[in-house]
Chain A
Amino acid sequence: IIGGQRARPGNFPWQAFTNIYGRGGGALLGDRWILTAAHTLYPKDHSAQGNASVDVFLGHTSVEEIMKLGNHPIRRVSIHPDYRQDESNNFEGDIALLELENSVTLGPNLLPICLPDNDTFYDTGLMGYVSGFGITEERIVSHLRFVRLPVARREACEKWLQGKQRNDVFSQSMFCAGDPSLKQDSCQGDSGGVFAVRDPNSDRWVATGIVSWGIGCSRGYGFYTKLLSYVDWIKKEMGED
């Protein structure tokens, strides 16, 4: 997290800490599902065939403490079928679900987040929070940090990408957040964590995006998997949960 601040215990109780091909994040859905980015399991430009161990930790803001609480074994990994590991410039379908072997007991430091049900969560300028154990200004962190970012205008992000002469795919199943004028962003190690907004109508926190990709950190916009596009797939994978 660039330009953010240290999270207090219970600020982001859905935050998961993953260690697969490096640090990553995730969010708790229900009491036995972890939502994360597919590329934390199948990184781009990586020859690994998904046989790395998947370690998932929950329930604390300290890396040391969260690991002391123990790894949560995974029963099943589900990668979205649109995800293409071999296309380094295409993060379409960058979403995955991890089913835990055992349900977790919820408490103040461990609670699930909700899923979006309409497009208003993606209105331009809507402020959201991104949290993670990823790097901050070239430093690795030992505590969970977060940053508050606005949902950016799609056209601005497209124009920004064109200005960078990049051919990265920015599809309708993604959205961008941040601002080139701000020194705030998510960064490496935050992937898989969620972009969370508070719904003032229901007073609930809703995960609207998954930290997916960006060009550098804090030099423009960050790109997120748009969860509203994948709610049906998530529900299908989770079944009656």
Chain B
Amino acid sequence: SIHIPQKLFGEVTSPLYPKPYPNNFETTTVVTVPQGYRVKLIFWQFDLEPSEGCFYDYVKISADKKNLGRFCGQLGSPLGNPPGKKEFLSQGNKMLLTFHTDFSNEENGTVMFYKGFLAYYQAVDLDECATQLNSVEEAAQPLCRHLCHNYVGGYFCSCRPGYELQADGHSCQASCGSELYTEPSGYISSLEYPRPYPSDLRCNYSIRVERGLTLHLKFLEPFEIDDHQQVHCPYDQLQIYASGKSIGEFCGTQRPPDLDSSGNAIDLLFFTDESGDSRGWKLHYTTEIIKCPQPKTLDEFTMIRDLQPKYQFRDYFIASCKQGYELMEGKQVLTSFTAVCQDDGTWHRAMPRCRIKDCGQPRSLPNGYFHYTTTRGVHTYQARIQYYCHEPYYKMLTRAESSELERGTYTCTAQGIWKNEQEGEKLPRCLPVCGKPVHPVESKQR
């Protein structure tokens, strides 16, 4: 036998190929590929002495203790049994090629020369999981107890939810002590549902969804947990907790009512004793996002920007005031206001109020005075005053195009500042008037 070193691909030829092979020769070539692979072989050249039943010269292929064929003749010739384009595939990682020749190669007294063969082999992935399926059909021990996963060059096992893979790599054992569900909706059931659940379970199913979502549970039919007519759930029981608070313990065949938890956390504890034959339970959980009450203004001066028909968790609204008003939160003036819908369905800040802007007492004008042209003593938004200088001793400084009336008019603006249309906040100036005595010297006597 010739053992070819383990490779992923290679060639196998007859002795002396492509020169004629020797007479009276027999050798077996063992092709081996790595574990987890199969051997695929195909003949590229085939030129052997043809004979009935390939009695004289032949190539015999075998794998997995099975004979895959005995071949002679030439490719494309009807004589003998040439392999043609046929692909030979092993189940395991080994394939054997036995090459046999007799004492001569003659035809009608003429010595004939045959080149022999050139075969190409390659490693192809072995799908162990498919093999397992076949094995199941054949009632053999499966590779994996629950689930099998193939990959190039190997496989691995896993278990269904609620079970844990054992150290042997293929066995599964019930293990539902800390099952966590975080998707916004899904199904949870007892092990093997709707077939009877295993004994001695201590299962804990936790549902934890994002803040701002509320959980709803709906149990499906059949619901079946070992029960006793006189004693409440003495054998097996399903306990439900919403946000840490117990909702109840359930058993029997009456499924629990639909549950609205108004929270984002539910725990289900399922305990079973050593016996029983009930089919268990299954539930469908869904979530709904929390909503906040529609914001309502407290006065006619407050405005809500882009009011939405509905507000849910993490939504926010911005409140502002009409021109000339300012936001008040209690006694504090705000520059802006935003309220966010919280995960408990409340707004994180109370609605503010809007208070009219107050410009305060107008500044006194040196050498002048003012009068209210709107309501006396009221200095809120849109109030107006008129400044005057103490005439005839002072005169208001004005620009060429402006009158004293225009220069002296100040309005309480939306910003809470007294402003003149032309000069802004700057007060007018009262300048001394020169050379205008009230009682000038006069001479009556002539």
Contacts and interface: CB of A to CB of B under 8 A. Distances in A.
Interface of A: 7-14, 29-31, 105-108, 111-115, 129, 146, 148, 198-199, 202-206
Contacts of A108: 437-439
Given A8-B439, A106-B394, A111-B436, 7 more contacts: A29-B434, A31-B367, A31-B432, A108-B437, A112-B432, A148-B443, A205-B436
B114 interface: no
Contacts of A30: 431-432, 434
Contacts of B441: 7-8, 11-12, 129, 146
Contacts of A13: 437-438
Interface residues of B, number: 16
A122 to B, nearest CB: 17
A113 B432 CA distance: 10
Contact of B435 (A8, A31, A129, A205): A205
B421 to A, nearest CB: 24
B393 interface: yes
A58 B251 CA distance: 109
A107 B436 contact: no
A12 B440 CA distance: 7
Contacts, number: 67
A223 B393 CA distance: 31
Contacts of A111: 393, 432-438
A114 B435 CA distance: 5
Contact of A106 (B432, B439, B440): B432
Given A105-B367, A107-B393, A111-B393, A12 B432 contact: no
B388 to A, nearest CB: 15
B439 A112 contact: no
Which of B394, B435, B443 has the most chain A CB atoms closer than 10 A to its own CB? B435
Nearest to B440: A11
Given A31-B432, A112-B432, A10 B437 contact: yes
Contact of B439 (A11, A148, A199): A11
A142 B416 CA distance: 56
A113 B393 contact: no
A107 B391 CA distance: 9
Identify the 9 closest CB pairs spanning chains A and B, nearest first: A10-B439, A204-B435, A114-B435, A106-B393, A114-B434, A205-B435, A11-B441, A108-B438, A112-B434
B434 A10 contact: no
